Amino acid sequence: MKRRRYGFDLRSTALFFVFLAVVVIVLGLAARVAANTVEQRPAWVFVLVVIGVAGCLSLRRRMRVAGVARRAAAALDEAARAAAEELQAPPVPRRRAAAEVVVDYEALTPEEFEEAIAALCERDGCSGVEVVGGAGDLGADVLAATPDGRRIVIQCKQYGETHRVGSQDLQRFGGTCFTVHEADVAVLVSTSDFTAPALEYAEQCGIVCVDGETLEAWTDGTGPRPWDMAPGVGAAGWETAGAEF
């Protein structure tokens, strides 16, 4: 295959030099006009320079704003994805607020202890809660109605660890809680423990015994409420059991 040889084209060369001459003339005229303008009106040069600088800054600012906008859009997209994942995740069960509170019942006065027990009843849905402890209370310190409508009578015994609730305490409370106060649920709450005879009497009479450990579990929500521990023995059952003593 033979290569094609290009010969010298006089017409094309002449046209190229004519075009080059025109460009040089135009650039020269532009330079001359610019020089005359600078000489006659130098303020225009300053204005043109300011306009040029402003244009460059504006372009740069737009580029920066565009970058910020892109980053903001990316952040919003990430937040939307995180929110969607949070909504799809299964809810984490929250523990009862009572578990966040630690109460030192032994540091309270007897009156404050009764108020604290009443507050627990109100917290767990009891209605008509009254603190009636004092002289002539006939063994009742707190009266209330359970969430299912039963009448609950509570006696509070704030004893030290070495002072356990005895059978005499239970007998005095058992003699009035059902017959006088007409309790559906009778509860004796103590900060200490109960003797074996006291627990035996309470079981026969249908009285719920809440010792210090059970009280702590009731307080922090990890244990049963006293009315949930009731055996369902009413006044008639107490009279039958009490007659054996």
Q: Which residues pair with 142 in a beta bridge?
A: 131, 154
Q: What is the set of domains in the chain, with CATH numbers?
A: 11-88 (no CATH), 105-242 (3.40.1350.10)
- Residues 11 and 143: their CA atoms lie apart, in Å, by 122
How confident is the prediction for the chain on average, in pLDDT? Answer: 77
CB 152, CB 187: distance < 8 Å: yes
Task: Establish how many alpha carbons lie within 13 A of residue 82's alpha carbon, considering only the half-sphere containing its beta carbon.
Answer: 6
Confidence of residue 81 (pLDDT cuts 50, 70, 90): confident
- The average pLDDT across 208-214 equals 95
Contacts of 150 (CB under 8 A, 6+ apart): 184, 185, 227, 230
- The average pLDDT across 204-215 equals 94
pTM of the complete model: 0.54
Per-residue pLDDT tens over the stretch 58-67: 656 655 645 6
- Residues 123 and 180: their CA atoms lie apart, in Å, by 26
Per-residue pLDDT tens over the stretch 144-169: 999 999 999 999 999 988 899 999 99
SS3 176: coil
CB 97, CB 123: distance < 8 Å: no
Task: Read off φ and ψ for residue 143, nearest 5 degrees.
Answer: -120, 145
- The average pLDDT across 211-237 equals 82
Q: Which of 25-39, 187-201, 226-240 has the highest mean pLDDT?
A: 187-201
